[in-house]
Each structure stands twice: as C-alpha cells, then as structure tokens.
C-alpha cells in the first residue's frame, strides 16, 4: 500500500513543509521550495523498509548498547590507501565504516583519483566495488587499464538504480565502496529524479547505513553547483565523516585536494597533484610550484608566503589597477575572496588617501591556486599599490601579514614555518610582522603607511 501526499522540499537544505512558502523556514533561503509527491510505503507489519542486515559479531553496531571501554581500540583504526597524499588528508587512511564525500567540478579528476585509489587497494588484497552511474563498464575498464588499476580484487557495476547495487553492498565482502556519483543514482523508496534533494538524501542514507553496519568504507562523489558548492542538501555534508574538495583549472595540470571537514584528523590540510597520462601524481614539494615563468620586473606582482595546514606555499599574487569608465568600477578576484579584496581596498583609500574610486581593480593568484589565508593580505595590498604606481616590487621580496581596519599589520599563525621556508629559498627582503625587529633581511612594517613608505617612498 502507498499513501500519497504533496510536500514541498527545499533545494538548499532538504527541509520539508506541507505548505508552500516563499522562504524556507529552516535555512531562510528564498524561492527554494519545490512541490513533490511523497509516497509512504507500508507493509503488513506497518514498515516499508526491509529487515536490517545483522551486524558483524563484536562490532556493537547497531545492536544492544555496549560499554565503549570494552571495544577494541583498533575497531576504527584507519587503513592506509597506498596514496600518501590522500592518507595524510584522511588522517592516516580509510577507517572501517567511514564515509567520505569528494566534490569538484566536472573533468577535474575525481574519478581518476578514485580509480587509482581502488586499484591500489585491490592490489593490496582488499576487495573494492566501484559503482558508476555515469560511465559504462567498457569506459571504466579502458581508464583502469590506462591507469594500471586492473586487479582481480577490483569489481565494477554500472547502474543508476540503487536496488541493483544493494545485494553487493549487503554482502559486506568489500573493504571499500565507491559511488560515482551520488547525484546519478536513484532509490525506489523515494520519488523524484536522480539528483533531486530527496533522492540524494535517500541514496546517501541507505549507503551510509550499510557502511556502518557492514564495516566497509564508502566514498561518495558529489557534483558541484555553479557557485562551487556541493549539489544537494547541506545535510549530505553533515552525514559523512570527511568532505574533500578537488580544485583545478582544466588548462593547468595541477590539481589541489582540500579537506573541508574531517572527523579523523585536521581539516586544514591539502595535497597537490599533477595530472599525468598515467593518472594523478602527488607533488611532494609544492612550495615553489606556482611560481613558474614569474617575471618580477613587472608591476602588480607580489610574492606571498602562505600556509595551508602545516605546509608553506609560495604564491604569486597579481593585481591590475586600470582607469575605469564605468559609474561603478569593477572589483574582480580569481583565487581571491572578492569581499576581502573590497575590504582591503577600502582600508587603502581610508588610511593612505589613495583614490581608487575611478580605478578598476583585478586580482588573482597565479597557477589557479585558491587561498583563504589571512596572511596574504600584505602581499595583495603590495601588489595593488605596485600596479597603482606602476612600479615593480623588489625582485626577491616576500610578504605575509594580516591587515586590520585601522591600517595596522598584524601577525598571523605559522610565522616560524613561513620565515624558515623563505630563508631556505633565499628570498629577501622579508616583509612581515614579528616581535624581533633586529633580524637581518627582515623588514617589519607596523602600519600600511609604513609599508607604502618603505616600498615606494610615498
């Protein structure tokens, strides 16, 4: 039997309401509620769900409550994947029963990375199931052969119906299951097309429940919206243990894998990969990777020493100040937060009396690197001033520091590793806020006006 009723589902957060509203009552987004038909299936016992599979002995999931101290400490110990960069991001490897969500734009290399992961685990004697809702088995085999991932332990299934994959998932023989992607698979227990909010939530919930019960790790691939957020309800990110985001420009061979959430380790780590014909290869020392073909004799270019996690990166920050013929000048940032750029420009105008109201300002980070480190404020301001005065900065100068609204330059975290890396690479002068002002090669500007005077004598 099935009871039908009309509900309205929010495309942003997945919340349901029996009546249409202009604003979602949960996430407060406007015009996100869409009508759908909810069919609640019932059986003679009053439940439409099949009996839950029995948990493995000694797991404590999801049977009777157990004393946590009686459980083995190795019950959730991560297992190395064979890919060093990925292991570091995951906190040592894939933990049994864990769930990982990997998001990124199309063509960035998500499927390539996961097929390499599947091949590495399969060659180590661990069972892997790759469920593809986007590619055929022939396409998967061709790519696996090119990547050298073919192995007897690697099984594949091409389907867009969850019921086709449930028998394999319920067997619990795999150590890793990859679902590529969660937006292309539909569950018969929920109405709607694949990729809708209800379907994404239902498919993820069923897969994650089986992963917890059977003890295998699962990786879900998620599409992204045009704003760069993972498509589907925000609840999806709360359901999983780890959220990874892959970034990169198709015109560039470098790919950046970031941790947005991690219950097993740090959420401030990243790994850099290079796209090769044989797959993604980790760049072990990416500290100067994004400085290729840099010309320090040009104005508007500044070198920043940024930190992501515990790794220092040298990043070229570029800025262009051009006369504007618009009523409202443009402010554009690539790899740079536009809101932060507007804030820094406002501080420049206020504290230095620099008239930028008639100038278009464009800023970007070279190499497609997207940075959120507040320590890049000083380099971004230096690049803008360099372009505004059309005078290049010192060729080997490096900058880091946070700018506050009063025009003061504040210290940032990771100062010691930034300084050590800058000295190792031989860059000087070093412009940074620090407590000791007597060190050789280090210039300590206290305010924005002090920085302007030291660089341009203005």
Q: Please, how many CA atoms are within 13 Å of residue 352, restricted to the half-sphere of its CB?
A: 26
Q: Is 194 marked as a binding-site residue?
A: no
- Whether residue 104 is annotated as binding a ligand: the answer is yes
Residue 52: the pLDDT is 47
- Tell me what pLDDT residue 388 has: 95
The Cα 200–Cα 232 span in angstroms is 6
Q: Which two tokens stand for residue 301?
A: 């270019």
State the Cα torsion 160-162-164-169 to the nearest 10°.
130
Take residue 198 and report the two structure tokens written for it: 């209800």
Nearest Cα to Cα of residue 234 among 208, 203, 200, 206: 200
Residue 34 pLDDT: 81
- The pLDDT of residue 213 is 87
Residue 266, annotated as binding a ligand: no
Classify residue 128 by burial, with Cβ atoms within 10 Å: 0-12, 13-18, 19+: buried
Distance, CA of 209 to CA of 158 (rounded, Å):
21
Q: For position 62, what pLDDT does the model report? A: 54
108 is in an annotated binding site: yes
pLDDT at 1: 45
Two structure tokens written together for 377:
């404020």
Tell me how far CA of residue 249 lies from CA of 100, 190, 208, 308, in angstroms.
23, 36, 31, 19
Q: Are 208 and 99 in contact (CB under 8 A)?
A: yes
Split the chain (458 residues) into runs of 10 and give each run's mean pLDDT.
70 80 85 74 43 48 73 81 89 91 91 94 93 93 93 93 90 89 90 85 92 92 82 84 88 85 84 88 77 84 87 90 92 92 95 92 86 91 96 94 94 90 89 72 90 88
Is 110 annotated as contributing to ligand binding?
yes
Gyration radius (Cα) of the chain, Å: 26
Residue 278 half-sphere exposure toward CB, CA atoms < 13 A: 5
Residue with tokens 């699962």: 218
Name residue, tokens 């804030």.
Answer: 343
Strands 99-103 vs 301-308: parallel, antiparallel or unpaired: unpaired
* Among 313, 321, 322, 456, CA closest to 393: 456
Q: Is 78 annotated as a binding residue?
A: no
What pLDDT is stored for residue 458 in this prediction? 64
């Amino acid at each position: 039997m099935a009871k039908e009723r009309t509900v309205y589902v929010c495309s942003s957060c997945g919340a349901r309401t029996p009546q249409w509203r202009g604003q979602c009552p949960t996430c407060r987004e406007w015009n996100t509620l869409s009508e759908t038909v909810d069919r609640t299936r019932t059986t003679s016992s009053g439940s439409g769900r099949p009996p839950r599979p029995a948990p493995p002995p000694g797991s404590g999931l999801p049977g009777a409550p157990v004393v946590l101290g009686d459980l083995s400490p190795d019950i959730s110990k991560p297992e190395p994947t064979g890919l060093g960069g990925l292991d570091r991001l995951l906190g040592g490897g894939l933990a049994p029963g864990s769930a990982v969500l990997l998001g990124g734009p199309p063509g960035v290399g998500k499927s390539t990375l996961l097929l390499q992961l599947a091949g590495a685990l399969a060659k180590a004697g661990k069972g892997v199931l790759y469920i593809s809702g986007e590619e055929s088995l022939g396409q998967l085999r061709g790519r696996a052969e090119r990547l050298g991932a073919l192995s007897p332990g690697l099984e594949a299934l091409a389907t867009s119906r969850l019921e086709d994959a449930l028998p394999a998932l319920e067997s619990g023989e795999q150590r890793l299951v990859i679902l590529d992607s969660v937006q292309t698979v539909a569950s018969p227990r929920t109405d709607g097309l694949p990729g809708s909010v209800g379907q994404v939530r239902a498919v993820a919930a069923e897969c994650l429940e089986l992963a917890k019960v059977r003890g295998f790790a699962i990786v879900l691939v998620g599409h992204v919206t045009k704003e760069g957020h993972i498509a589907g309800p925000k609840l999806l990110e709360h359901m999983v243990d780890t959220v990874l985001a892959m970034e990169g420009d198709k015109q560039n061979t470098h790919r950046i894998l970031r941790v947005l959430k991690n219950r097993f380790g740090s959420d401030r780590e990243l790994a850099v990969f290079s796209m090769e014909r044989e797959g993604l290869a980790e760049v072990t020392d990416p500290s100067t990777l994004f400085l290729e073909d840099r010309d320090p004799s040009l104005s508007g270019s500044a070198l920043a020493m940024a930190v992501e996690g515990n790794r220092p990166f040298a990043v070229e920050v570029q800025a262009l100040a051009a006369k504007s013929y618009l009523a409202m000048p443009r402010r554009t940032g690539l790899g740079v937060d536009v809101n932060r750029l507007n804030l820094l420009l406002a501080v420049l105008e206020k504290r230095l009396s620099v008239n930028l109201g008639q100038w278009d300002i464009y800023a970007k980070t070279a190499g497609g690197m997207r940075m959120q480190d507040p320590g890049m404020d000083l380099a971004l301001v230096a690049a803008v001033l360099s372009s505004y005065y059309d005078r290049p900065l010192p060729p080997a100068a490096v900058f880091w520091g946070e700018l506050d609204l009063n025009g003061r330059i504040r210290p940032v975290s990771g100062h010691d590793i930034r300084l050590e890396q800058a000295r190792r690479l031989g860059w000087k002068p070093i412009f940074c806020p620090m407590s000791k002002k007597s060190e050789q090669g280090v210039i300590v500007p206290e305010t924005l006006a002090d920085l302007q005077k030291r660089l341009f004598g203005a």
